[in-house]
Structure formats: C-alpha cells, structure tokens
C-alpha cells in the first residue's frame, strides 16, 4: 500500500455523515479506528494537533506488562498487558521488539531476591507459561553491565519486556486504517458537539490550517482525547474526575551511558521504579510521576526538581557514570490521563481505562499503551449498544503483514508501504541521516510526502525522533531537511524560515535539558 492515496482531505471534501466520529488521534483513538474500520463502518478521526502529539508521543516507549501492577494487586491488568505484549511482538517486529531488562538487587535493600523471583515467575506464567527470567550473579552482571553499582550487589534478575516508538505505533495504526477506509485529519478541532436534546448527534469541526468550519453528523461520537477528555465542548458532565500526572524523561547519548540492556531499579528516596533503556541509538531514562496540576496539558516539560530526582536515581545505580543534566541530549514530558481514585500517592492510582456513555457519545480515558487493542474493543462494545453495527469483529492481527531480514525496522515502522519506499528509493537516499541514528534520508522524504506532515516538528519529533536524538534538536541537519521540505511540501524560503524558527523555539521550551 502506498501512502499516495492517503493525503489529507479538506473539510469540504468530507461526506456530511459518518457512522462513527472519533475525537483524538493518540493511541486510544487510533486503536478504536483500527478496529472500527474492520466492521465496515464509515469512520472519521480528527485530532486538533498532530497525530500522537499528546501523551502518545511522550511515554516511556515500553510495551510491557507492568511489574508494579502486581505489587498493587492489579492481576487482570498485568495478565492483559503481558498477553497483548506477546501479540504485538509477534505481529509488529521492527516496531515492537524484545527488550531485555536487568533488575539489580542489593543486600539490605527491598525487594529481596525471593520476592522478585516469585513476581517474575507470575509474570512469565501470565505471558506464555515459559520461564524467560533468570538470575545473574554479581560477577555475571559486572561482566555484561560494568557500570552498574557494585557495592553490596547480590546479582540481578533478567527478564523480558518490549520496546517501541510510541508515535510510530500510532501513525502506523492510523495510516493502515486510512488505507482500509478511515478518514483521518490532523489539525482539525472539534469546536462543539452537536446536540438534539440530550443526544449527541455529531460534531462541529474547524480546520486549524484554513479556518474553515463544518458540521458533521454521526451515529456515535467517541471522545478519546485522553487527558483532555473532560474538556470537550458540549459534552455532558461526568462524575469521574481527571488527575493528570506528569512523567518526565532524559535522553542521554549512548557514549555517556553505554548500557546494552535496559536496567530497572527502585529510587533510593521513595522506592518508585525508574529505568534506563537503550532506545534508537541513545539511552532514555525515566520516569517521574507527579501531579501536573492546573498547568497547560500541551506544554508539559521536565522541571528542575524532576531533573534532580532522576539524576539522584541515576547516581545511585550508575555511580561511576557521574551523569549531569548537561550530558543529556534532550528531555521530554508527557501527561498521563489518569482517573482520580483518591490515592495520596500518584503512583498508586490505577492505570486501567475508564469508559462511560451518554446518548450518542462514548468517552474513554486512562489505559496503557500496551493494551490499546483491548481498550478499543471495549469502547466499540459500548458504542454498539447504541449502534449495533459497531460491535467489534473477531480478534485478528492488528497489523497487516510482517517482514524479517535487513529491512525489518523499516517494515515495522511503515508496514507494507516500506516496500514501495524501498522500490523507489535511490542509492543516495539510503545514506544514514547521522552515524548514531537509525534513519536514512529516504525515510524523511517519504514522511514529508506521504505521512500528513504539516509542521517541521511533525517530521522531526514524531514521524522521526531526530529532535530527541541529536543535540539542539538536530539543528545541524536543518539545511538538508529544508531541501526535502521545500521539494515535497512546497515550502518557499519564507515558510521554511518560519517553520525552522517555530521548531527551534518549541524544542528549547519543551525539550532542552534544564541545565
């Protein structure tokens, strides 16, 4: 499937009625769209910013069961998560890949070896019944990860989870759904829900790019706006109260923290789990879990206090690395859409999804990146109470096709479109964008041409992650990126200058390390 037929339509080109309108282009909205088009329904998805520009771009990049949910007694969520992890590993190699984890254990510190062995036995059993975790002695650990602190070290437990590029996961869901009939629009805002009495009958849309407004009727509207779920204009009030929680992360160059495995441990101050994970040629370290409060949801960034908290945790686990904020390439922060359960500790709040309905409207929030398919099917079951044709079909692989071999990463990111790209890509376009990054120049050109890029940050922070993986957001590459955007997007010199200025200001505001 080529992306050539997936260009962004205008509001005037849309039909006046859809069976289902999905508001929100993050992982939940994308998952609902993927399952909904398989019912044969006419589906429209709209996102007020770029696809995956909210929470779904700024997660911890892990497709995991969540060991800490076992500690909280959330057995169903853990079992559901590890099973979905296994499905995605099988369906989307190159996009969702195995991520071995090490958890060092120390004399005199909790948790103990026996407790963790039991937890991991349950973890393995829920996934496949095959014991994948094992014990490494202190000497074995020192050999494979010499930077791990040695004082009072007993050894480490090795177990398997999975990692992903969260934004690309969302993009692949949306673009493959578009190839199957979904109409998807980024930079389109719902100004107001349309109502007839107590019933939601559609949406009034505004195209942010040209200012055009248009009403669209729908049998059912899905409010999948995540942390914004209680801010959709015209939606009836809910008894649920949101508690936005901020999670912040550092991105370090691999040269400053050269680890081969992901390492997870408990912060010495509050015993919260934190981690360092090799990711796309760099090392990602996180995460915090703090009340975001009344601050704007779309401008979250790491605070100085969060930076110091993570650096103290890193100093405990990797003392010889002597990391500082100045060593970081970038930072990022996302706001988790958590329903307020009244817990004093933010980390004790449930990460399970919440779904509620009123006539013509189904709202959903919470949930985990890993379990997007389960959440999507639950949402459609609720929607089918009002429109029976939306009932989800039998569970089938969420992604079409898979590939192995030297281009597995590209097929994982692009799906079947990867073959079209490879067939068309000249030799010079296969050149790596940078020696430390996995991208080639042909990928950037493809994304600009085929993947609904509107602004430069769409290309450098979501279609690719160059802005998180190179110093100053990849400023040194901008002259060559300019040539691609001018050729593929028709930007003149003035438009390019505006986009470059906008992008660098955004990077400085949200992703520059707090030095």
Taken in order of first residue, the domains within the chain and their CATH numbers are 3-56+167-241+349-390 (3.50.50.60), 96-163+243-344 (3.30.9.10), 425-510 (no CATH)
* Per-residue pLDDT at 129: 59
Q: Of 414, 46, 31, 447, which is closest to residue 228 (Cα–Cα)?
A: 46
* Per-residue pLDDT at 121: 81
What's the token pair of residue 317? 């686990």
Q: Of 170, 179, 172, which is closest to residue 6 (Cα–Cα)?
A: 179
Q: Per residue of the chain (515 residues), what is the pLDDT tens digit?
A: 334 345 788 999 999 999 999 999 999 999 999 999 999 999 999 999 999 999 999 999 999 877 766 666 666 788 888 899 999 999 999 999 999 999 999 998 888 888 888 878 887 777 765 667 899 999 999 999 999 999 999 999 999 999 999 999 999 999 999 989 999 999 999 999 999 999 999 999 999 999 999 999 999 999 999 999 999 999 998 888 999 999 999 999 999 999 999 999 999 999 999 999 999 999 999 999 999 987 788 889 999 999 999 999 999 999 999 999 999 999 999 999 999 989 988 988 888 899 999 999 999 999 889 999 999 999 999 999 999 999 999 999 998 767 778 899 999 999 989 999 999 999 999 999 999 999 999 999 999 999 999 999 999 999 999 999 999 999 999 999 999 999 999 999 999 999 999 999 999 999 999 97
Helix axes 27-37, 166-179, angle to 10 degrees: 30
User: Contact, 359 vs 220, CB < 8 A?
Assistant: no
> What pairing do the DSSP bridges indicate for beta strands 245-253 and 290-291?
antiparallel
Q: Is 188 helix (H, G, I), strand (E, B) or coil?
A: strand
* Per-residue pLDDT at 401: 67
Sort 405 into a burial class: Cβ within 10 Å, 0-12 / 13-18 / 19+: exposed
451 sits in which H/E element: none
Q: Using CA atoms, how far apart are residues 24 and 192, in angstroms rounded to an integer?
A: 14
* Per-residue pLDDT at 52: 97
Dihedral pair phi/psi, residue 135, rounded to 5°: -95, 135
* Per-residue pLDDT at 2: 39
Say how far residue 343 (Cα) sits from the centre of its chain.
25
Beta bridge pairs of residue 21? 44, 221
């Amino acid at each position: 499937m080529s992306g050539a037929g997936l260009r962004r339509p205008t509001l005037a080109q849309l039909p006046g009625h859809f069976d289902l309108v999905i508001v929100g282009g993050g992982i939940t909205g994308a998952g609902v769209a993927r399952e909904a088009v398989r019912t044969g329904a006419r589906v429209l998805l709209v996102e007020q910013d770029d696809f995956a520009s909210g929470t779904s771009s700024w997660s911890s990049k892990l497709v995991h069961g969540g060991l800490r949910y076992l500690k909280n007694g959330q057995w169903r969520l853990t079992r559901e998560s590890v099973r979905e992890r296994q499905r995605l590993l099988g369906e989307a190699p190159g996009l969702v890949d195995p991520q071995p984890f090490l958890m060092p254990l120390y004399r005199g510190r909790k948790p103990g070896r026996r407790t963790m062995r039991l937890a991991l036995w349950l973890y393995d059993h829920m996934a496949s019944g095959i014991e994948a975790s094992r014990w490494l002695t202190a000497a074995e650990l020192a050999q494979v990860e010499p930077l791990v602190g040695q004082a009072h070290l007993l050894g480490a437990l090795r177990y398997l989870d999975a990692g992903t590029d969260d934004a690309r996961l969302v993009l692949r869901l949306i673009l493959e759904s578009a190839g199957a009939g979904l109409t998807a629009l980024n930079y389109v805002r719902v100004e107001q829900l349309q109502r007839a009495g107590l019933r939601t009958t559609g949406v009034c849309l505004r195209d942010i790019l040209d200012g055009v407004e248009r009403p669209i009727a729908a049998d059912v509207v899905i409010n999948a706006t995540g942390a914004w779920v209680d801010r959709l204009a015209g939606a009836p009030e809910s008894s649920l109260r949101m508690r936005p929680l901020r999670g912040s992360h550092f991105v370090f160059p691999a040269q400053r923290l050269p680890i081969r495995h992901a390492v997870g441990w408990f912060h010495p101050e509050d015993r919260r789990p934190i981690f360092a994970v090799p990711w796309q040629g760099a090392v990602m370290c996180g995460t915090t879990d703090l009340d975001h409060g009344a601050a704007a949801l779309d401008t979250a960034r790491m605070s100085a206090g969060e930076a110091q908290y993570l650096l103290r945790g890193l100093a405990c686990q990797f003392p010889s690395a002597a990391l500082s904020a100045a060593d970081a390439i970038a930072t990022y922060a996302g706001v988790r859409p958590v329903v307020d359960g009244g817990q004093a500790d933010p980390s004790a709040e449930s990460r399970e999804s919440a779904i509620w309905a009123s006539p013509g409207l189904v709202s959903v929030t919470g949930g985990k990146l890993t379990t997007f398919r389960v959440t999507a099917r639950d949402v459609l079951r609720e929607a089918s109470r009002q429109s029976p044709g939306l009932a989800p079909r039998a569970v089938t692989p969420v992604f079409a096709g898979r590939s192995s071999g030297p281009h597995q990463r590209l097929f994982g990111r692009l799906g079947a479109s990867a073959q079209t790209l490879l067939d068309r890509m000249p030799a010079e376009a296969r050149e790596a964008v940078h020696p430390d990054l996995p991208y080639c120049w042909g990928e950037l050109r493809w994304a600009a041409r085929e993947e609904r890029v509107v602004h430069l940050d769409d290309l450098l922070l979501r279609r690719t992650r160059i802005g998180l993986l190179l110093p100053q957001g990849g400023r040194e590459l901008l002259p060559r990126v300019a040539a691609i955007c001018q050729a593929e997007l028709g930007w003149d010199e003035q438009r390019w200058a505006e986009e470059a200025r906008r992008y660098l200001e955004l990077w400085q505001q949200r992703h520059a390390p707090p030095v």
